[in-house]
Structure 1
Amino acid sequence: MAEHNILGKAGEEEAVKFLMSHGYTICHRNWRRGRKELDIVAEKEGELIVVEVKTRKDTLFAQPHDAVTPLKVRRIVQATDAYLRFFKLDLPVRFDIITVVGEQNCFTIEHIKEAFYPPVS
């Protein structure tokens, strides 16, 4: 496995631990439906939280959350719609980003709640 994939998996694991330590229930990790994917789907206080995780070794060139482009947002929203339909859920949804910066055993985590809203079509 490539180094960036190993780092990404470690970052996602740290994000899950972070969420659980803050009272979130993890419903799914890397949920896929066709070509659509959601990194983490969690629930807290009757709200479904879709979390996009961005892991980077450092921030020399850009902040991790900058990688969540408008195209990526559209894809996450489409995947969330597929998730809601597949599980027949009727819950309010919140879209968060968790950035994980550093190396294994030495990560800095930032949780950006309500990082974006579904675009109006």
Structure 2
Amino acid sequence: MADHNELGKKGEKLAIDFLVKNEYHILEKNYRYLKAEVDIIAQKENVLAVVEVKTRSTDYFGDPQDFVNPKKIKLLLSAIDYYVIEKDLDVEVRFDIIAIIHKNDTTKITHLEDAFLHFL
């Protein structure tokens, strides 16, 4: 597996550990719908957090969250619309980004709640 894929998998594991530590219940990992893949679907109280994980080894080219584009957001929206209807959920839906910079033994995790508001 390519290094960037390994880093992505490690980032998703770090994000899940972070969410669990902060009292989120993990409902789905790598949920797929049509062309969309949702990294993590988690719930805390009555909030369904749709989490996009972005992991980088450096911020030289920008912060990890800067790499979530409008096309990805559109795919996530359609996937979660389907998921909420399929599961018959009555929850508030929030789109978050967990941005991770992980290099060697140093990790910086930033949890951006309602991260897509400026895109919508």
TM-score, normalised relative to structure 2: 0.92
CA distance in 1, matches of 2:106, 2:76: 28
Deviates more, 1:64-73 or 1:96-105: 96-105
Within 5 Å, which residues of 2 pair with 1:68-107? 68-103=68-103, 105-107=105-107
Q: Please tell me the residue identity of whatever aligns with 1:12.
A: E
CA distance in 1, matches of 2:104, 2:83: 31
CA distance in 2, matches of 1:78, 1:47: 18
Deviates more, 1:92-101 or 1:102-111: 102-111
CA distance in 1, matches of 2:101, 2:26: 21
Q: Which runs of 5+ in 2 are unaligned?
A: none
CA distance in 1, matches of 2:32, 2:72: 15
Tell me the matched-pair count.
119
Paired position in structure 1 for 2:15: 15
CA distance in 2, matches of 1:86, 1:104: 41
CA distance in 2, matches of 1:113, 1:60: 23
CA contact (8 A) 2:96 2:113 kept: yes
Shift of 1:104: 5.7
Q: How big is each residue's C-alpha offset from its partner over 1:41-84, in whole Å with a ceiling of 9 and x where there is no partner? A: 00001110100000001000111111111121111111111111
| Overall identity of the aligned pairs, in % | 43
Paired position in structure 2 for 1:111: 111
CA distance in 2, matches of 1:107, 1:100: 7
CA contact (8 A) 1:55 1:101 kept: yes
Shift of 1:19: 0.5
CA distance in 1, matches of 2:81, 2:53: 19
Within 5 Å, which residues of 2 pair with 1:21-60? 21-60=21-60
